[in-house]
Structure 1
Amino acid sequence: MSITPMCYETQFFEFTPQTCILRMYISFQDHLFDMLRIVESVILNKMEKLPDCGISQLEVRKSTTKYLTFVNKCFNQLFQKMETCLLKLVLNIPRNVLLPEDRVQELYPDSKEKFDTLHREAKSLEAQYKAEALATQTLLAELEEQRVVQAELAKILTWFDGMDKICREHGNIDLLESFTFMAQTSKKLQGTVQEIDLKHKKLKLDVTCKKAV
């Protein structure tokens, strides 16, 4: 059987011509074997009606096997000719014939140089697209971050408005002055705490020294 690759024919028929021929060969072989088996059974039935014929079942089987070998040899020779005919005339697409999906290549033929140029341009466009997609994702992330920051600022402004309202209700009109006063008071408290802490450490050190003496 031919092992020549027939890719274009496989694309058109959606099966390999060699596979088709192999299935035909197996099918013929099966039918030939079944036919001789039926012939053998008919001969054996006839022999049962002729008890004095002098031919045993084993001799019939040997004769049938010998005949099967002879017929199979003739069939293989004929099938080789049929295979050649099928591969060259029936299952073969001439080299000057294009499939419908490939006719565009005949209308717009391109050289290898032009194909390479188009391939490089496609790669360049793909790289540009990936870069633009990455930049778009970065911008979307920044916009989302700005949205979160804007929401936090809105909360802070709402809080300031509430504080300003409270200060006005308690007679303090200048909110900035109130925050300045709070900052100065906090700074003084921090200084007082640090001073108390130093005195506490000094007192603890004196007590330790006295105990040691």
Structure 2
Amino acid sequence: MSVPMCYETQFFGFTPQTCVLRLYITFQDYLFDMLLVVEGVILKKLERFPVCGISRFEIRDSTEKYLNFINERFNYLFQKMENCLLKLVLKVPRNILLPEDKVHVEYSYNKEKFDDLQNETKGLQEQNKAETLATQSLLAELEEQKAVQAGLEKILTWFDGLDKICREHGNIDLLESFAFMVQTSKKLQVTVKEIDTKHKKLKLDKTSKTPVQLRPRRSNRKK
């Protein structure tokens, strides 16, 4: 038997070598059965000539010898027939393709195209990875913004409640009150700075006007 024919096996649904082997076994069985029939006919003919001197064992021996001879010739001829079957009859031509292989003809590619596709795939994978990281960062920032927004909403709610309380007690508008407080605070800061500057200036003036005290001289007179 030759090397397994994989493509032909896919095309036919069976291996060509198995098909040839079954043909060989079929011919062998048919030949053996045919010789048994011939042997039976000869034995019936001998029954009509009991004095011919040929026994049944001699006929069986002759049948086996003839079978061996026929087998040798048959094997020789079958080898040629096997080559013919495998190379011509059961061989799928190159222009015949399986349905699943037609796509390779329509979209053929070589090593360069394959490398280009691999590089493009790697680039897309890296881009996808970068976009995934960017998306995760944006989601994290969005969560932070939601937390900040929730805090601001609490503060605004607190201010609204405080403003409502102020209005109920006859106070001025809360926003105007805060603005007045900010302005007053700025004026106080300016006033404090002016006072501090004047205080420092007064200290300097006092220091410069302090009289110089002379030390008394010692008397040289003797008592």
TM-score, scaled to structure 2: 0.49
Shift of 1:62: 7.1
Distance 1:168 1:64, change over 3 A: farther
CA separation of 1:75 and 1:127: change in aligned 2, threshold 3 A: same
Change (3 A) 1:165 1:77: same
Q: Residue 151 of structure 1 aligns to which amino acid in structure 2? A: K
Q: Which residue number in structure 1 is paired with residue 85 of structure 2?
A: 86
Residues 35 and 67, structure 2, Cα contact 8 Å, conserved in 1: no
8 Å CA contact 2:5–2:16 kept in 1: the answer is yes
Alignment partner of 2:118 out of 117, 123, 126: 123
Residue 19 of structure 1 pairs with residue 18 of structure 2: yes
Q: 1:108 to 1:134 in 2, by over 3 A?
A: closer
Match of 1:99 in 2: 96
8 Å Cα contact 1:36/1:68 also seen in 2? no
Task: Determine the structure 2 residue equivalent to 1:144.
Answer: 139
**Which residue number in structure 1 is paired with residue 150 of structure 2?**
155
Runs of 5+ consecutive residues of structure 2 not aligned to the other structure: 179-223
Q: Which residue of 2 aligns with 1:167?
A: 162
Hey, what does 2:214 align to over in structure 1? none
Q: How far apart, in 2, do the equivalents of 1:104 and 1:31 lie?
A: 45
How many percent of aligned residue pairs carry the same amino acid? Answer: 37
Distance (Å, rounded) in 1 between the aligned partners of 2:65 and 2:117: 67
- The answer to whether the Cα contact below 8 Å between 1:21 and 1:83 also exists between their aligned partners in 2 is yes
- Alignment RMSD (CA, Å): 4.7
Amino acid at match of 2:149: A
Task: State the match for 2:76 in structure 1.
Answer: 77
Note the alpha carbon deviations across 1:31-60, whole angstroms, 9 max, x for none. Answer: 556x369859x78xx8xx99x9x978x999
User: 1:133 aligned to 128, 136, 142, which one?
Assistant: 128
Scaled by the length of structure 1, what TM-score is found? 0.51
The number of residues matched between the two structures is 162
Distance between the aligned counterparts of 2:26 and 2:141, measured in 1?
Answer: 75
Task: Name the amino acid aligned to 2:25.
Answer: I
> Which ranges of structure 1 fall in alignment gaps of 5 or more residues?
178-213
- Deviations along 1:164-209, one digit per CA (max 9) or x if unpaired, are 23333444947xx8xxxxxxxxxxxxxxxxxxxxxxxxxxxxxxxx
